[in-house]
Each structure stands twice: as structure tokens, then as C-alpha cells.
Amino acid sequence: MLASSASDLASDPTAPTTYCNLTSTAIHHCVKAIASLNAATSSGVDSFEEVNVMLATCFILLFQFTLLSDGLVEYMTFIRGTIAIAMCMGSQQIKFIFRELWGNQDINSMELALQQTPLIDGELAKSACRSIESLWPLCKAQGELDMYGALLSTARSLITSSEDAYLSLRSIYNIFSFKMTHENFRDLTRTSNEIWNAILAHLVAL
């Protein structure tokens, strides 16, 4: 919580300039939190309270990385982390404090708003499709092809339905958070991999 709070204060453009110094403080507390989380994960899941604290830690760090300009890889990593801990909890039949976060509860609560969401500029959506289509000759590995297909499907949905595009965007998250192997995710997040860098750039743009 200290890490996330410091990042929040440092990212506020209206905050005093002295708050900018909180970035290093935020990273310091983040590193300590990750170290504690890794230690707890290595020792195993023992209780309802402990494992839900671990899950809460993943969520807090996840939100912190949305506040960092270079936190994309860490953001994606902690999405995978929340899924991994949740699966461990499920296998041991440990109850979730955050039970409303799983399933389609969020979709159900936003259904009316999604239906009323207007279309974005059609030419912008078509430009996105053309840009993503240009990645096709570069994609060779199955993980690359899966992400390419999901990105293109999402961009095409933007032309006809913002609701369908939002639902399609969720499928991209499913690929890298749940379906993708550790090896493919490692390739995806390796900065020297130019193909994956291009795919991630299009994901951020979407």
C-alpha cells in the first residue's frame, strides 16, 4: 500500500514538485513487497487469511504499475500472478474474499453502459486494422499468431460495436494471463524481441 500510494502521489500532475521524489520511494517499497510476496509463495499457501493477503498484494502492485510509465511488463506479470494464486486457492478450495472479481460479474454490472457506448471514429478503427494486419508477415510462433489474431479481432470489432470490442479485448488478457506458457510470456516481455515489442505497442494503442 505504501508503494501504490507513493506512485499515486508522484503521478499527480497538480501535486507539488517535491512529490516527484516519491517515485524512488515507491519503487523501494514495491521491491520489498515483491520480495515478501515471493517468500510467501515459496513457503506455500497455508491459510485463508494468508492467501487472501497474497492476492490483495498482487492487486495492489498491479494497480501501482498502471501508474508507472514503464510498468507494462510488470502489470502483465502481476495479472498472471493473480491468476496463479487464484488457481492455487481454487485447487485447495480456499474461499476468496474478492469473490466478485471472478466470472462475468463486471460484465453484468456494465451491460447497459456498454450497450450505450458510442462507436469511435470509423477511420481510426480502420487504420488500426491496417496497422495490425501489417504484423502478419512477422508472426511465426504460435503465441505471436494468437496475440495477432486477438488484436485484429478486437480492432475489427471497433468498427461495428464498442461493446463487442471491449469483450474481445478481454480475450487478449486471457491469452497472456492464462493460456500463454511461461516460455512464451518470457519471449513476449523480452525487450530485445522486436516482434513482441510491436505486438505490445498495438495492445497499448488498443
Domain edge (last residue) among 66, 92, 118: 92
Q: What per-residue confidence (pLDDT) applies to 176?
A: 87
Range of the domain at 64: 1-92
Q: What per-residue confidence (pLDDT) applies to 66?
A: 87
Residues 72 and 161 reside in one and the same domain: no
Q: What per-residue confidence (pLDDT) applies to 170?
A: 86
| pLDDT exceeds 70 at position 69 | yes
Does 97 fall in a domain?
no
Domain edge (last residue) among 67, 92, 117: 92
pLDDT band at 147 (very low <50, low <70, confident <90, very high): very high
Are 19 and 10 in contact, with CB atoms under 8 Å apart? yes
* CA dist., res. 68 & res. 202, Å (int): 19
pLDDT band at 99 (very low <50, low <70, confident <90, very high): low
Number of domains in the chain: 2
| pLDDT exceeds 80 at position 46 | no
Dihedral sign of CA atoms 84, 71, 113, 166 in order? negative
* CA dist., res. 32 & res. 159, Å (int): 44
Cell numbers that stand for 34 in this block: 515483491
Degrees to nearest 5, angle at CA 74 with 69 and 77 = 150
